[in-house]
Amino acid sequence: MDKDIIISADAVALFCRMQMNVKRDLPIRPSEMGVLIFTQKQMGPVTPLMISHFFRIAKPSVTSMVNALIKKEYLVKTPSAIDGRSYTVSATDKGAELVESTYNEYFKTMELLREKMGVNEFNLFIQLIQTANNILSEEK
């Protein structure tokens, strides 16, 4: 195996671990918080399919997170008037309060990186991550 590839893989793994292990005093899992933020920040009704596409995760995973957020009273489900199987979700007052109280804290790492790297390097960093995500998505 190419030594540079191994070093690169280790660097990416360390970055991911550091980002995932940031101490956040959240009453819900980070993945659920992402769904809650996404739902709260949308301008219209949010469907599980929209969540699935945005996060690039399977609908059963979305259903599991949505159900957990409903059970904890952060989201509410509204059945479709047209199709009894379809529904939209929206944040409850409790969910909106959690988003508003933790939103800035949730993105502190990215703000720190932008501040320390500078806007140009940070934008390049994000552009490269987006390119990598697109390449990996195409391979699935």
Question: pLDDT tens, 1-57?
Answer: 788 899 999 998 888 878 766 656 789 998 999 999 999 999 988 999 999 999 989
- What is the CATH T-level fold of the domain 28-106, as seen in this structure? Arc Repressor Mutant, subunit A (1.10.10)
Considering only CA atoms, which of 74, 102, 86 is closest in space to residue 45?
Answer: 86
Contact status, residue 60 vs residue 14, Cβ threshold 8 Å: no
Encoded tokens for 8: 């690169």
Question: pLDDT tens, 95-104?
Answer: 999 998 887 7
**Domain limits, the chain:** 28-106
Can you give the pTM of this predicted structure?
A: 0.74
Considering only CA atoms, which of 40, 41, 38, 42 is closest in space to residue 52?
Answer: 38
